[in-house]
Amino acid sequence: MPGPIALRRLAAGVVVVISLFASTSVAGAATQTVTKENVTATFSYDGTPPLSHDPHLKISRNGKVVYDQSVRSTWCANQCSADVIAGRKVVHIVNLQGSGPPSVVLDLYSGGAHCCAIEQVYSFTSNSVVKREHDFGDPGERLVELGANGSFDLVSADDSFAYAFTDFAASGLPIEILSFSHDAFHDVTRSFPVLIGRDARQWMRAFRSQASTHYQDSVGLVAAWAADEDMLGHSGIVARFLATEAKAGHLNSALNPTAGNRKYVAALQKFLRAHGYLR
């Protein structure tokens, strides 16, 4: 499932995990197997995505099967589909926690318009395999090697901005980066200011391009830029820019023409504060 422009362009400039894997497909059934170090994961399903069914995951460690169950999710029960695009792999074995054994990561799709990319992480404890999952919504995520120790993080975009000020197509979604440690997901976006700055510049270029259409639907793009800049501690710059653009009549929504300019600035600042961007 394709992500927003922000995620696609970001991923083009970083190292995305690549592993050797085997994939087979027989009579409507498909299997993907990945091996790394002493861990092997085999994911299988019937049917053709996005209408596949009966997903199953088997994990072996040191040649011993330690997990062998049907795949279930909070968001799609046992009807999750493999998030397959053009035959890409959906099961990964990567180091998420910096030390210790690698984790198995599974890409799932719940079905539905603009919904929902689900990532499941299967990590090892001394006696068992612990499953955790996160709903990344429409943007999905990419496993990216950002840690200096070879560990991977999950790069996405904040789906709460979709529809917040305009329709989905014109909405901007600021960068969001999650790490996984101690069997939980953590928002670590602010730890990567270079990537935030790159994302902010992209949204500003997109906003400036709206000049050719007299800023008919610009509020979604500038919202993503403001979020990025607020994460960088540039709240004063954001406030002054929004005031200037509001006075110039450049903050408009084709979906809701009455919500532009000064009313929009107040609504955006309230939104950014509620979502932890504006402190």
pLDDT in tens, 7-48: 433 333 333 333 334 444 444 568 899 999 899 999 998 877
**Residue 230: is its pLDDT beyond 80?**
yes
Quickly count: other Cβ atoms within 10 Å of residue 178's Cβ. 19
**Residue 242: is its pLDDT beyond 70?**
yes
11 CB-side CA count, 13 A? 23
**Residue 265: is its pLDDT beyond 60?**
yes
Q: Where are the domains of the chain?
A: 5-157, 204-274
Contacts with 96 (C-beta within 8 Å, 6 or more apart), sequence order: 102, 103, 105, 121, 123, 151, 152, 153, 179, 180, 181
Per the rule left: phi > 0, alpha: psi between -120 and 50, beta: everything else, 77 is: left
Contacts with 156 (C-beta within 8 Å, 6 or more apart), sequence order: 3, 7, 136, 139, 140, 141, 142, 175, 176, 177, 178
Cis peptide before 50 (omega within 30 of 0): yes
Q: Average pLDDT, stretch 103-115?
A: 85
Grade residue 259 by pLDDT with cuts at 50, 70 and 90. low
**Residue 241: is its pLDDT beyond 70?**
yes
Which pLDDT score, from 0 to 100, does residue 4 have? 36
3-7, 29-33, 150-154, 219-223: segment of lowest average pLDDT = 3-7
Contacts with 15 (C-beta within 8 Å, 6 or more apart), sequence order: 144, 145
Q: What is the spatial distance between Cα 176 and Cα 97, in angstroms, rounded to a whole number?
A: 18
Q: pTM for this one?
A: 0.84
Q: What is the spatial distance between Cα 237 and Cα 68, in angstroms, rounded to a whole number?
A: 53
